[in-house]
Structure 1
Amino acid sequence: MTISYNWLCDYLPVKPAPEELSTILTRIGLEVESLEKFEAIKGSLAGLVIGEVLTAEKHPNADKLKLTTVNTGNGEPLHIVCGAPNVAVGQKVVVAPIGTTIYPAGGEPLTMKKAKIRGEESQGMICAEDEIGLGSSHDGILVLDPSLQPGTPASEIFQPAQDWIYEIGLTPNRMDAMSHIGVARDVCAFLNNLENTHQYQIQLPEIKVLPEAATKLPVSITIENTDACPRYSGISITGIQVAPSPAWLQNKLTAIGVRPINNIVDITNFVLHETGQPLHAFDTAAIKGNAVVVKNLPQNTPFITLDGKERKLDATDLMICNGASEGMCIAGVFGGLHSGVSDSTQNIFLESAFFHAGTIRTTSFRHGLRTDAATRFEKGVDISNVVIALQRAATLICELAGGKAASDITDIYPAVKTKTQVEVTYAYIHKLSGSPYPADKIKNILRHLGFDLLSENETGFRVAVPFSKPDISLPADIVEEIMRIDGLDNIAIPAKVMISPAISAQPDAERVKEKVADYLAANGFHEIFTNSITNSRYFTPEVLEYTVKMMNSLTVELDVMRPSMLETGLESIAHNLNRKNEDLLFFEFGKTYQVQEQRYIENNHLVLYLTGNKTATTWMHPDSVVDFYFLKGFVINILRQLGYSQLQWIEGTDPNLQPAWEIKVKNQVVVTLGGVVPQKLKQFDIKQPVWYATFNWDKILGLLQKSDNFYKEIPRFPAVRRDLALVLDKQVKFAAVETAARSVKSALLQHINLFDIFESEKLGANKKSYAVSFTFLDSQKTLTDKEIDSVMEKLVKTFETQLQAEIRK
C-alpha cells in the first residue's frame, strides 16, 4: 500500500515530521517498508535563481553565441556565454550559477563549473525549460514575468511539488488501512492514546451542496442479484468538460504511482485512495433506457473491456447493464470499452456500490483483471461509506469539471446490514496480550477507532464493530486492535520464559530429510521447488477422475493440484533444456494430491530427475550419458543411508515409465523408478532421455527405525565369498534370482551380487548365464566350509526348483 505524506497530513490535526510519522505507522502495525522522497521536478530547482539580463553582445569568436552579464541579486553580475537566439537585455530568466546541478528532461544531471567557451569565460548558464525539467521546449531560454526580483530562488516561483512516499507492508486483513483516511484514523487514535486526550480528530473533507442542472437526467437503478450487490447508489451529472486535472490533483496521484488520465477518471481514483471506496463513471449516452441494472448475463456472453479485448463472461460474473440488458461494466472489476468516459463526454452517471468480496475475487482471477477496485472489493469495503464517497466525488466533479447534479442520489439498499457485535472480558485481554491495560485506556482506544460501546460491567464489555473493519469478529481481534494502537513496541518482553522441554518424535522427519538432501547435493544434484498447482492437460481422463480440481483457478494453465510429481519436474527440465542447460541432476521434496471417496489425500514424496551426461565432458572423460543403472545406484544408496538393505525388486506398471520398476521394503512399495516414455517427453518438447524415481516419503518414514543412527562395529571375523554360474531363460531378471536367494532365509548370507552376464548359442536357445557371488559372514565366529556348503546346497536347490536353473560346472 502506497501512502503520500502530504496527502495523509490533509486529514491530520497535526503534522508530524516524515520520519516521526514513519515510526508511528510501524508502531501501530502498518509496517513502513520504505520511505522515499518524491519530486515532481527532479532536484526541485535547488540552486536555480531568477536573474536579469543586463547586457547581451555578440561573441567575438562565434556567430551563434552571445556574451551576457546577468544580475542574480548577489554582488557582481555573472558573465555567461549563451547560445539561445531569444536572449535580450532586460529579460528575467532562470540562471544556474556555478555549483548548481540541473536535471534536464530525459538527460543526465549536469553540475555547473567555471568554463571557457570559445575563449570567453562563462560563470553559469541561462536555462531553457527542458534543461531544468520544467517542460520539453528547447526553442530558447525561459523568459519570465518582468516584475520578478533578481536573486529570488526559482523554487519559490515555480513551487515544484515535493512529498514523502511510504510503502506499507499491509497484511491482507487490514482493508481499513487501504486508504489515506483509514490510515489517518489509526494515527489519530494512536496520538490520543499516547497523550491520553481526545483532541486529535480526523479532518474529513467537506461535502458541499451540489449545483443543480436546469434539465434533469434521472437514471433508474435495479438490483437483480442482491446477494452479490447488497447496496448500489448513483447520481447523474451533466454539463461536464473532460480535460486534464489541475496540478494539485495530478501531483497527488503521480506521487503514489497512479497515472493521471483526465479530470473525471482522476477524481474517481483520488476518492478511491482517499476513502477506500471504488467508483465508476459511465457516459450517460451509453445507458440505454436511462436505466442501470445489476445482474448476471448468460454463460459465454461476449463483452469488450476498456483494454479493447473481448472476454467471454461466466454466468456468475456480476455485470452492470443498461436498460437493454447490454453489459457496460464487469461489476467492481473493469469497465467496458463503449460506456467509459471519453474526451467528448458531457453527461455522466457516477456509480458507488458494495459488491460481495468472493464474487469479485472469483471474477477478477477468472479474467486476469487485477485492478485497484477489485483489490478493495475482494477484501471488503465499508458498506456505510458508499454514499459518502459518492457525494465526495460528485462535489469534486462539479468543482473541477464544471458539472451540475441532474438527479438526486439514488441509493438502493434493500437489506440494511447490521454491525457485528463482539463481547470480550478484561481477563481475556490480559491473558492474550500479557499486558494489564486499564479499562479506560481500552475503551478510549476502541472509541477512537470507531467502535460503539454497547454495554459493560466489571468483567468486560460488548462493542459494535465499525463497517470499515469487516475482518473483526472475535475477541482476539479486539485484543489485536488494542495492542496495535497502544504500540506493538510497548509489549513487555519478560525476563524469563517458562517452557516445557520438547521431546521430538523418532524418527526426526526433518533430520532424515536433511540427511538425504545433503547426500544428493554432495553428489551433484540440485534441489528444485515446483508448483503444486499444474495443468490438467498433462493427464489422462482416468487420472483426472481422482484429481483435485481448483474451484478458483489462477489461470487456465493452473487448474488442478498435481496428482504426480513427474509433470512439474519435466516442466523444470524443459525450461533448462531450452536455455542450453542439458546435463541435469535434480531432486525435489513435494506433495501430490488426490480425491478418494470424497476425501482429500496428500502424499509426501522425494523425487529424482536425471538427464544428459553424468559429468561434464573433458579430454579425460568423454560423454557418458545417465542411464537406468546410474539412477538405480543413487536410489539404492539413499535407501541404504536410511537403513534399508533387504530390498525386493518387482516390475512396475506405471504407464509413464519404461522400463518401470518398483522396490518393496517389508512388502510395501517405497520407490518407483524407470525411464520416462517418449509420449510423455513429447508433451514437454523434451528430445533427450529422462530417468525418474519417486520415493513414497510417508512410507519411508513409517518404516524407518526408531533411531536414524545405523553405525555398527566392524566384524572381527572374515567374510567368505562363493560364486555360482546359473544358466536361465532369457526372460528371467536378476531380481528373481535375488528374491529366490533371500527366500532361503539364512542369517549367514550377507550380500548377493551379479558380476557377469554371458549369452551364447552354446548355452541353448533363449538361454543366458548369470555369474553371481554370495558373501557369508558370522559376527560371532569364523565360518567353516561345512556351514557354507550347507547354505550353498540350499541355494542351488532353490534356483533349480523356482527358476529351473542349471548350474554351470
Structure 2
Amino acid sequence: MTISYNWLCDYLPVQIEPERLSKILTSIGLEVEHLEEYESVKGGLKGLVIGEVLECAPHPNADKLRVTRINTGGPEPLSIVCGASNVAAGQKVIVALPGTTIHPIKGEPITLKVARIRGVESHGMICAEDEIGLGESHEGIIVLPAEAKVGTPAAAWFKPYSDHVIEIGLTPNHMDAMSHWGVARDVCAWLSHHENKEYRPKLPSVNTFKPDNNSLPVAVSILNTRSCGRYSGVTMKGITIRESPQWMKDKLKAIGVRSINNIVDITNFVLHELGQPLHAFDLEAIKGRKIIVKNMPEGTPFVTLDEKERKLSAEDLVICNAEEGMAIAGVFGGLHSGITDTTRDIFLESAWFNPTDIRKTSFRHGLRTDAATHFEKGMDISGTVNALKRAALLVKELAGGEIASDIVDVYPDPANKVEVSLKYHYLKKLSGKNYHPDAVKNILSALGFEIIKEGIDVIHVAVPWHKPDISLPADLVEEIMRIDGLDNIVIPAAITISPSVENDSSQASWKSAVAHYLVGQGFNEILTNSITNSAYFSEQELETAVKMINNLSAELDILRPSLLETGLESVGYNLNRKNGQVRFFEFGKTYRTAGVGDYQETNHLCLYLTGPVLEDSWRGKGKEVDFYYVKGLCEKIFPLLGLNKPDWLAFQHPKLQTALTILQDGRTLLEAGSVKPELLKKFDCRQDVYFADFRWDTLLELALAKKIEFKELPRQLPVYRDLAMIVDQGLPFEQVEKAIRGVKLDKLQEVKLFDIFESEKLGKGKKSLAVSFTFLDEEKTLTDKEIDGMVGRIMGVLEKEVQAEIRK
C-alpha cells in the first residue's frame, strides 16, 4: 500500500521526520518496504532562476540562433546562446545556470556547463517547458509575467509539489490500515504508549454537514441483505464537473492515482483518506429514482465503464435502478450510469458489501479495482455515513451545488460488536513480557477498543468495527505487542521446546540421496507453480483436470495434470537467455479429479535435460545429451532406493518420441523420452529436450517393502572374460542381455556392453557387439575350466536364441 507522507501528516498531531516515521511504522507491523522522495517536477527545479532578457541579437555564425544577455540577479549579466524563435528583449524567462542538472520530460538528466556554440560562449540555458519537466511543449521558451522578480528561484515561482512516498507491505489482516486515517490512528497509539501522553489523530470535521433541501430524494431497498449489510447515499444537485484543485491532484498523483475530474477524484480521495470506497452515479441514470441492491439472473449482459460487455453470474451483486443494472456492487461501475462532463446531479453511494462475495466477483470478471481490494478485506460497517458526509462536503466545496436530500441509510440487521476477554497471564505467556494493566488498557483504547469491564487478571473489550479480523485473545495480544513495538519483543536467555519425533525418516533419506546424486551430476533443483495454464493441455487431459474456482488470472486457471509443461516453461526461459546447457530436476505433484470431492494428488520426480554433456575443448568435440545418457541416469536412481535394475519397454506417448517406460505389476514406475517438436515449439525451445518422469509414490512404496539384506564382502577376486559376436543390426542389446541372464549362472555377477562395431565387412545388416563378463565365486577361486564352461554355455544360448555368430 502507498502512503503520502504529507497527506499522513495532515492527521498527525505532531510532526515526525520521514525516517523516524518509517521506523515507527515497521515497529508496529506496518512494514515500510520503501521510502522515496517524490517530486511532481523531477529535480524540483533546483538551480533554475528567473532572469530578464536585456539584449537579443542574431548569432554571427548561425541564422537560427540568438545571442542574449540575461540578468539573473548576479553581479554581471550572462551571455547565453538561445535557439528559440520567441526569445526577445524585455522578457522574463527561466534560466538554468552552469552546474544545474535539468530533467527533461523525455530523455536523461543533463548537467549544464559553460559551452562554446558556433564560436560564442554560452553561460547557461533559457528553458522551455519540456526541457525542465513542467510540460510537453517545445514550441518556445517559457515567458513569465512582467511582475516576476529577477533572481527568484524558479521553485519559489512555480511551487512544485514535493513529498515522501511510503510503501507499506501490508498484511491481509490489517484492513484497518488501508487508509491514511487508519495509519495515523496506529501511529498515534504508538506515540501515546511510548511518550505517556494522549495523542489522537486529527480528522476534518463533518459536523457542518446539513442538507440544503430534500428536492431530489432517492429510495433504497436491499433485496440481498447477506451480501449488502448496509447501504447509505445522498443526492447532490447543480454541481459542475471540472478539474480538481492542485492540492488534491498532487496528493492523488503522489500515491499513483490519476486525476480524472473533481467528482471522481473526491471519491478516490475519501477512499484513501478513510478507507471507505464510494461511487457516484449520474442521477439521470437512476430511473424511477430507486436504488435496488440485488442479484441478476445468470448470464445477464452488462456493459462496464471500460465499454466491455460482461455476462453476470447469478452470484454477482448488482446496484440497479427501477429498470436495469447500473454497477457491479463494490467492483466496477456501468457505462451508462457514470459521471460525464454534462452531469449536473449525482447520487453518492457508501456501502458495506460482503468481502467473500466481492472477491469472487472481482476475480470472476478479472476486475481488480481499488474498491474491490478494500471491500474484499472487510470494511468498517460503522463508517459509511461519516465517509458520505465527508465526500458531500468536499463536493460542495470543489464542485458547488446543493445537498438535495437527507442521507438515506438502509441498515437492515445491525450487528453487535464482537467481545473478547484477555487474561493477563495469557498475555505474558504469548508475549513473554509483563504488561501493566494500565498500559494494556491505554493501548487498546487508543486503537478504538471499548473497555467493557476489568478484573484482577482479565480485561473484557468490544472490538471496533474497523478491526473485523479480531475475534480471539491471541489477536488482542498481537495488537498490544505491535503497538509496544515488535522490535521490543523480549528474547529469553533460554528456550524450552519439545523436539518432534519422526517415526520413519527413510522417505526423506531416499529423497535426499536422490537429490544429492542429481546435484552431483550437474543438476539444479527447480520448484514450479502447481497452478498453470489450461491452454497447455489437450481436451482429454482437461476432462480430469482440477479447475480453479477463483483463479488468479486467465493464464493460471488449473492445477497441473503434468509436470512436463511447467518444467518446459523454465527450460525455455533459460534457453532464451543464452543458457543452453540445462539440467533440472523437480519433486512435485500432479492433480486430477473424477468429480467434486474426488481428488487425487500424485508425487513425481522429473528430470529435464538439454544441451551438451561435455563442452567442446582442445581434446575434442563435445557431446550432446542423448537418450542413452538419460537412460543411464535413470537406471542409477533405482539402486539408490534399494531397487533392482529395471527392464525397459518401448511405448507410444502423446508428448514424447523414442519413449520408454518401466512397469512393475502393471504399475508405471518411469516414463522417459525426447519431447516432441510441436510441444517444444509451444514453449520456444529451439533444441532437443529430454524428459524423465518417475512415479515417486510408487517407487517409495516398493522401496519400503524391500528388506535390507547384509552379507560379508567376498574374499575372492572376480574374473573377467570378453566375448565378441556378430548379430543383426536391428537387434537391441537388451535381448542379448536377457538371453545371457536366462542361463541363470549364479557366479555371473555383471554383463556389460563396451563396444559396438559396424562395417560392410561384417555382412549386410550386421554389427559386432563386444561384451564383458564378470565372474565370482565367494567361496573359492574359479578355475579356467569352470570359467570356460560358463562362457561356453553363454555362447550356446546366444547362438540359439539371438542367432549370434561368435567371433573367435
TM-score with structure 1 length normalisation?
0.85
How far apart are residue 429 of structure 1 and its match? 1.2
Provide, for residues 650-670 of structure 1, a one-character-per-residue CA deviation record: whole Å limited to 9, x for no partner: 566866555554436899753
Structure 1 window deviating more from structure 2 (551-560 vs 791-800): it is 791-800
Q: 2:366 is aligned with what amino acid? A: G
Provide, for residues 703-749 of structure 1, a one-character-per-residue CA deviation record: whole Å limited to 9, x for no partner: 55899x99999966321345789999999976577568768877644
Could you say which residue in structure 2 is the equivalent of 1:318?
317
Could you say which residue in structure 2 is the equivalent of 1:376?
374
Structure 1 window deviating more from structure 2 (482-491 vs 719-728): it is 719-728
How far apart are residue 329 of structure 1 and its match? 1.8
Q: 1:451 is aligned with what amino acid? A: F
Could you say which residue in structure 1 is the equivalent of 2:23?
23
How far apart are residue 20 of structure 1 and its match? 1.2
Q: 2:607 is aligned with what amino acid? A: L
- From the superposition, tell whether residues 735 and 460 of structure 1 become closer, same or farther in structure 2 (CA, over 3 Å): farther
Distance 2:543 2:120 in 1: 87
SS of structure 2 residue aligned to 1:319: strand
Could you say which residue in structure 1 is the equivalent of 2:158?
158
2:638–2:645 CA contact under 8 A, matched in 1: no
Distance 1:350 1:789 in 2: 101
- From the superposition, tell whether residues 406 and 649 of structure 1 become closer, same or farther in structure 2 (CA, over 3 Å): same
1:533–1:558 CA contact under 8 A, matched in 2: yes
Distance 1:49 1:583 in 2: 59
Distance 2:68 2:537 in 1: 80
Could you say which residue in structure 1 is the equivalent of 2:217?
218
1:215–1:406 CA contact under 8 A, matched in 2: yes
- From the superposition, tell whether residues 270 and 780 of structure 1 become closer, same or farther in structure 2 (CA, over 3 Å): farther
- From the superposition, tell whether residues 415 and 744 of structure 1 become closer, same or farther in structure 2 (CA, over 3 Å): farther
Distance 2:485 2:637 in 1: 52
Q: Does 1:340 align with 2:353?
A: no
Distance 1:114 1:654 in 2: 73
SS of structure 2 residue aligned to 1:359: helix
Provide, for residues 610-657 of structure 1, a one-character-per-residue CA deviation record: whole Å limited to 9, x for no partner: 456656678986797654323211111333455544434456686655
SS of structure 2 residue aligned to 1:380: coil
2:304–2:310 CA contact under 8 A, matched in 1: yes
- From the superposition, tell whether residues 807 and 278 of structure 1 become closer, same or farther in structure 2 (CA, over 3 Å): same
Could you say which residue in structure 1 is the equivalent of 2:280?
281
Could you say which residue in structure 1 is the equivalent of 2:695?
696
Provide, for residues 326-349 of structure 1, a one-character-per-residue CA deviation record: whole Å limited to 9, x for no partner: x32222222222221121211111
Structure 1 window deviating more from structure 2 (474-483 vs 4-13): it is 474-483
Provide, for residues 250-309 of structure 1, a one-character-per-residue CA deviation record: whole Å limited to 9, x for no partner: 110111111111111111111111111111112222222222222222333332222222
Report the RMSD for the aligned CA atoms in angstroms.
4.5
1:453–1:461 CA contact under 8 A, matched in 2: yes
How far apart are residue 201 of structure 1 and its match? 0.5
Q: State, as a whole percentage, how many aligned pairs show the same letter.
A: 55
Distance 2:96 2:488 in 1: 50
Could you say which residue in structure 2 is the equivalent of 1:11?
11
Q: Does 1:350 align with 2:351?
A: no
Structure 1 window deviating more from structure 2 (298-307 vs 786-795): it is 786-795
Q: 2:430 is aligned with what amino acid? A: L
Could you say which residue in structure 1 is the equivalent of 2:231?
232
- From the superposition, tell whether residues 120 and 375 of structure 1 become closer, same or farther in structure 2 (CA, over 3 Å): same
Distance 1:804 1:116 in 2: 96
Could you say which residue in structure 2 is the equivalent of 1:172?
172
Q: 2:384 is aligned with what amino acid? A: V
Distance 2:790 2:351 in 1: 86
Could you say which residue in structure 1 is the equivalent of 2:197?
197
1:756–1:770 CA contact under 8 A, matched in 2: yes
Could you say which residue in structure 2 is the equivalent of 1:142?
143
Of 427, 446, 450 in structure 1, the residue corresponding to residue 444 of structure 2 is 446
The count of corresponding residues between Structure 1 and Structure 2 is 799
Could you say which residue in structure 2 is the equivalent of 1:46?
46
Distance 1:88 1:329 in 2: 58
Distance 2:36 2:479 in 1: 28
SS of structure 2 residue aligned to 1:608: strand
Map 1:121-140 onto structure 2 (within 5 A).
131-136=131-136, 139-140=140-141
Distance 2:184 2:726 in 1: 88
Could you say which residue in structure 2 is the equivalent of 1:477?
475
Distance 2:804 2:153 in 1: 107
Map 1:482-561 onto structure 2 (within 5 A).
482-499=480-497, 513=511, 516-517=514-515, 519-521=517-519, 523=521, 525=523, 527-536=525-534, 538-539=536-537, 543-544=541-542, 546-561=544-559
SS of structure 1 residue aligned to 2:172: coil
Distance 2:485 2:193 in 1: 9
- From the superposition, tell whether residues 244 and 654 of structure 1 become closer, same or farther in structure 2 (CA, over 3 Å): same
Map 1:698-777 onto structure 2 (within 5 A).
698-701=697-700, 717-721=716-720, 748-754=747-753, 774-777=773-776
- From the superposition, tell whether residues 70 and 423 of structure 1 become closer, same or farther in structure 2 (CA, over 3 Å): same
- From the superposition, tell whether residues 255 and 746 of structure 1 become closer, same or farther in structure 2 (CA, over 3 Å): same
Q: Does 1:182 align with 2:196?
A: no
1:220–1:291 CA contact under 8 A, matched in 2: yes
Could you say which residue in structure 1 is the equivalent of 2:586?
588
SS of structure 2 residue aligned to 1:230: strand
Structure 1 window deviating more from structure 2 (595-604 vs 428-437): it is 595-604
TM-score with structure 2 length normalisation?
0.85
How far apart are residue 231 of structure 1 and its match? 1.7
How far apart are residue 427 of structure 1 and its match? 1.4
1:105–1:133 CA contact under 8 A, matched in 2: yes
- From the superposition, tell whether residues 319 and 790 of structure 1 become closer, same or farther in structure 2 (CA, over 3 Å): farther
Structure 1 window deviating more from structure 2 (23-32 vs 150-159): it is 150-159
Distance 1:774 1:81 in 2: 94
Q: 2:179 is aligned with what amino acid? A: S
Q: 2:160 is aligned with what amino acid? A: P
Could you say which residue in structure 2 is the equivalent of 1:417?
415
Could you say which residue in structure 2 is the equivalent of 1:392?
390
Structure 1 window deviating more from structure 2 (369-378 vs 674-683): it is 674-683
Q: Does 1:632 align with 2:631?
A: yes
How far apart are residue 101 of structure 1 and its match? 4.1
- From the superposition, tell whether residues 475 and 102 of structure 1 become closer, same or farther in structure 2 (CA, over 3 Å): same
How far apart are residue 456 of structure 1 and its match? 2.7
Could you say which residue in structure 1 is the equivalent of 2:250?
251
2:727–2:805 CA contact under 8 A, matched in 1: no
Structure 1 window deviating more from structure 2 (216-225 vs 108-117): it is 108-117
